[in-house]
Structures are given as structure tokens and as C-alpha cells.
Amino acid sequence: MLPMKRKYDSVLNSSSKEQKVLWVIAILAVLSFLAAPAVVSSYFLRLMSLTLIYLILTTGLNIIAGYTGQVSLGQAGLYGIGAYTGAILAVKLGVPFWLCLPAAMVVAGLFGLVLGAPTLKVSGHYLALITIGFGVIVEKVLIEWQSLTGGAMGLSLPGITLFGQNLSEMGFYYLLLVLCLLTLLVTNNIVRSYFGRAFIAIRDNEIAASCMGVNLTSYKLLAFVLSAILAGAAGCLYAFYSVFISPDTFIFNLSIFFLLTIIVGGAGTIAGPIIGTMLLTIVPEYLHFLDDYRLIIYGALLILSVIGLPQGITGAFRNKFPGIVYFAPPADIPDDPLTDKSYELENNILLELENVSKDFGGLRAIDEFSMAVKSGTVHSLIGPNGAGKTTLINIITGVYQPSVGKVCFKGKDLLRLKPDRIALAGIGRTFQNVQVFDNLTVLENVMVGAHGKFRSNIWHNIFRIGKARQEEEKAHLQAWSLLKMVGLEDRASEPANSLSSGQQRLLEIARALAMEPDLLLLDEPAAGLNEIEIERLGEIIGRIKDKGITVFLIEHHIDFVMDISDVITVLNFGRKLTEGCPSEVQSNPEVIKAYLGTEAVEAC
């Protein structure tokens, strides 16, 4: 009893006023749904049941289209697959509803896996076309495969029996309500776990996500499968609910309708699909005189909402009441977020590049470059603009594959590994052009960095049991502590794109440190920072080094580099000019020539 009470207290104390209001609204909404059958007409009850069925689907669609940012216009196809799986099992094999439902979810989930496969290579309008094509294929097959689906004539289903009795209209409504609440709860728990953060990270910035250790392939597929499972469940429920299905229900227009609900409501929020689905299912019932114009209105609504209200109704509310997103800081933030990484390596070499070359078309950006980064040092890479410094970081982190050469980290070959594998091997990075996850809060950005530290599986997170909760707590505390270290703790609840570019650079460092890397690659961290911030950056790098974390730094502020570095490598035109301690490099005539030019050198 005691822990329960403490949890309750902490919810109350750690919520902002806006969040408390939201809780009240949510509880009132659930209560009115519970009480509805007692007050509304049976016609309206049917409408509410349909809304609940749609809501299961749109909540699923929101996972893939809203959170993960992969537009699916084939959801009606998955819905149809769910409906027909349930119907065919019930009609042809006499399977009871309670087994049809999971079967429909499994079958639709498998199709979601197939539909998601192309996302490994394409996204955007390509994906839109693929999903539209998928929907049309399903529609045609449902019509043509008459022996199985009954063709255009459709299929009639038996009702649901419960304890030997037929389920009444009201009984069905409550069944839908329970399943719908369950769907919302499960979805909410997933999107608020590290799974959900990975989804949003993919939506906001794929390359940064993969450099944080997020496996793009499996997370995109997971999102597709989750949304397909829910579409399948909704389809099966619809089939048993309407007792008759035919292919003309599961058409492209329905897919657009589903997408419209989440756009209007607000994609990427739990409340978005709820608001959108209720609005677009119930309101048209009061506008029957407009029926001839219904699709025209939908079309206009689609245009108006993407232009005028791109984040939907919930987005508009969030902009109006920013307090809705609020993370209370933990009671005491630990001062030392960094784990000790000092250990002995064979000949002390952490990272080794051997004869690496990289061609872009006819241009040789990196030319037979070799370098060894010693463990525990601050190793800087300097060179004029266009020398190939960032290309080198992209090669190390797997964003680019070198044309020839070898990259070894802790004695392991990194070649042909995807960025997420390299990130998990212990290499963290920041980006020259800042790449934060714009729509995640500052705190969540850092927590994405901790992605690779999570071991709990999706079931742990759906039910928020032990392991998942502990890991989340730990990552949360570490993120706060890292934010305190870079001085951003009072911006924790704000979206990352509201920070200045200098602050975003510091945020990127905190995010990379959350990965607990052995090697930290900093690509021009001081660019856009003012003097005080640069001083702070120097302190941070000092603290990182003290913990035995190796730093590989690209920077143009030469004084800063000279102060902080143990070793400096100079790169020019993709080739290594020289390497050595700061004083050696500073006095090297080649370096002076590369930076300042000589009298004989041609004008740039």
C-alpha cells in the first residue's frame, strides 16, 4: 500500500497545472464513455461503437505515421485483411470470435511486415505510393478471389457469443470500450518508452538516430507491424460488429479518411487520434444535408489542416499551453554523470585508420589517410575548409563507406557496419550541422542517446514492469545530470528546436555522452559559441578526458585546440600533412603554408 501512495503523491507533485487539468479531462472523458449507453439513443450508440473501432485503428496508424513519420496510405487494406481474416475463419471454419481476433491481428501484422519492408530503402512519396498500391491490391484481391471472400457479394458473419449468450448491442459497446482503452494504454506505454523515443528520433532525423544506436530497419518494421496489428484488430471487430462485410468498405478513400483523422487531431500525440476520430466520425452525422459535399469537405479539410494547422488540434493546444509538456526535475541531480572508461588496451590504440580513401564521383575527398588515436587522449583534427575532416568522421561512424582502407576500433574491424552498430560499439558523435531531434524535448533528446543501454524488451515496456521501469529511471536521472553538466537543466522540458544553435551543440554533446562512449567525436563543437560558452566547453572536455573517455575533436578555433589537445593531426586536400603535439604542429612550415599560403601559391 505504501509504495502505491508514494507514486500517487509524486504524480500530483510532479505535474504542472496544465497536466493536472488534462488528467481531469481524461477521467471525465472515460466516465462519459462509460455512462453513454444509459443516455444516448441506440443509433448514436452504434456511431460511438464505430468511433471506438476506428480509434483502435487510428491509434495504430499514429504509431507509424505520427510518431515514426512514415506515411501509410494503405491502412484500409490492413483493416480489410483483419476483417476478412476474422470473417473467413468464422464463416468457413466456425472459429469463435475470441480466436478470430488474435488470428486477424497476427495475419494483419504479417502483412504489415511485408508492407514495411520497402521502407528499408525508401520513404516519403515513394512510401506513399507503395502503401496506396498495397491498398488497391488488397481491394482487387478481395473482389476477385470469390471462392474465399465471396467477391463483391461480401460475407455474412455470426454474432459474438459470451457464456452461451449472444452479445447485445450494449455488450459489444463495452467490449469495444475496454479494447480501445487497452489499446490506448499499451500505445501510450510504448511511445513513452525508449521504443517511442526511437520512433520519434527516426521521424525527426534518421541519420542522427542511427548514430545514437537506433537500428532504423528494425524500429521502422516494428512500427509498421504494431500499426498493422491494431488495424487488423479493428478490422476483425468491424466485421463482427456489422455482421456483413464487402470489399467496397476497404477502399483508398477510407485510408485517406484515417490519415485525415490523425492530421486534424494532431499526429504524434496520444490525444490526436482520439480528437480527430471523434470529430470526423460523429460531427458528419449532424451535417447530413451536406452529404453530397462530404468528400469535397474532407479534401478541403485535408488542405486546410496541413497548411493552417500542421500539428493538428493537439499541436495548437501545446503551443498555447506549453506547460502540458513538463518534466519535474528529480529531487537531487547527481553531479557526476560520466562513467569511468579508463582501462588498458593493447598498445593503447583505441581507433586506427589504415590507408582510408573516399571518392565522391570523380573527387577524392580522403586520400590514403592513416591515423591512430591513443586511448585517453584528446586528439584534434585540423585543416582548411574542405580538407575532408567531416568526411573522416562520417567514415568512422559508418555514415559513409570508405572506397578503400580499413577502420579498426578496439581492435575490431568497423568496415561495412551500419552507424547504429558502430554507435553501440562505443563511438559517440556530434554533428557539424547541428542534428538534434527537433520535436523531442531537450531531456528526451539526451535520453535517445542512452538508447543502447536499454535491455528491456517491448513486453516489459508495455506493462512497465520492473526492468523497464528501472532502466527508464536510470536513463532519466543520467539525462538530468548530463543536462546539468552542460548547463541546460532549466530547458529540459522545451522542444530542442527552441534552443540557440550554441545550446544545441551542447545538447548534442550531452546526448552523445549519454551513449557512454569510449570514443567521443566532436565535429566543430565551438562553432557559434560565445567566449563564456567556449570556456565551459573546455571544462566539459576536461571532465570527459578525466574519466578516460577519448576525445577526437575537429575545430577551427586554433587557440582552443592548442590549449586542449594532446595530439593534433593536420589534414589538407584529404591527405595527412603532419601529426604531433601542439607545439610541433604550430611550428611546422607545411602547416603554416596550408593555412596562410605562401607568396607563390595561386589565389583561391
Partner 1 sequence: MLELIIAGLTMGSIYALLALAINIIYSTTGIINFAHGELVMLGGMFGIVLVVNSGLPIIAGMFIACGMVAMIAITLYYSTIRPFGDNLTSSLGWLMATLGAGIIFRNVAMLIWGTQPRPFPPLGSEELINVLGVRILPHEIWTLVITFLIAIFFTVVLDKTMLGSAIKATASNRNATRLMGISVERMVLACFTMSGAVAAVAGFLISPIVFAGPEMTATIGLKGFGAAIIGGLGSSRGAFAGGIMLGVLEALSMTMVTPGYKDAIAFLIMILAITIKPEGIFGVAYEKKV
SS3 155: strand
- Exposure string of 283-312, with b = 16+ CB inside 10 Å and e = fewer, is eeeeeeeeeeeeeeebeeebeebeeeeebb
* String marking each residue 88-117 x if it binds partner 1 according to CB under 8 A: -----------------------------x
Out of 9, 168, 290, 310, the only residue in the binding site for partner 1 (CB under 8 A) is 310
Q: Does the footprint of partner 1 cover residue 133 (CB under 8 A)? A: yes
* Cβ contacts of 93 within 8 Å, gap of 6 or more: none
Q: Cβ of residue 433: shortest distance to partner 1, in angstroms?
A: 7
Q: Does the footprint of partner 1 cover residue 299 (CB under 8 A)? A: yes
User: Please, how many CA atoms are within 13 Å of residue 161, restricted to the half-sphere of its CB?
Assistant: 8
* Cβ contacts of 210 within 8 Å, gap of 6 or more: 216, 418, 419, 420, 423
Q: Does the footprint of partner 1 cover residue 134 (CB under 8 A)? A: yes
Q: Sign of the C-alpha dihedral, residues 461, 464, 468, 471?
A: positive
Q: Cβ of residue 85: shortest distance to partner 1, in angstroms?
A: 19
Q: Does the footprint of partner 1 cover residue 434 (CB under 8 A)? A: no
Are the C-beta atoms of 544 and 525 separated by less than 8 Å? no
- The single residue listed with the C-alpha cell 499526429 is 267
According to DSSP, the β-strands at 404-409 and 550-554 are unpaired
Q: Does the footprint of partner 1 cover residue 301 (CB under 8 A)? A: yes
Q: How many CB atoms lie within 10 A of CB 339?
A: 11
Out of 2, 4, 93, 307, the only residue in the binding site for partner 1 (CB under 8 A) is 307
Q: Does the footprint of partner 1 cover residue 415 (CB under 8 A)? A: no
Nearer to partner 1, 498 or 530 (CB): 498
* DSSP output for 463-492: TT-HHHHHHHHHHHHHHHHHHHHHT-GGGT
367 phi, psi to nearest 5 deg: -125, 105
Out of 234, 259, 274, 427, the only residue in the binding site for partner 1 (CB under 8 A) is 259
Q: Does the footprint of partner 1 cover residue 143 (CB under 8 A)? A: yes
Span from 137-145, 405-413, 495-503, 542-550 in contact with partner 1 (CB under 8 A): 137-145
* Cβ contacts of 464 within 8 Å, gap of 6 or more: 189, 193
Which residues in the 53-72 window bind partner 1 by CB under 8 A? 71
Q: Cβ of residue 305: shortest distance to partner 1, in angstroms?
A: 8
**How many residues sit close enough to partner 1 to count as binding (CB under 8 A)?**
46
Q: Cβ of residue 386: shortest distance to partner 1, in angstroms?
A: 14
Cell digits of residue 518 = 569510449
Out of 132, 423, 424, 442, the only residue in the binding site for partner 1 (CB under 8 A) is 132
The residues binding partner 1 (CB under 8 A) are 71, 117-118, 121-122, 124-126, 128-130, 132-134, 136-137, 140-141, 143-144, 207, 253, 256, 259, 263, 292-293, 295-296, 298-303, 306-307, 310, 360, 390, 394, 399-400, 431, 433, 435
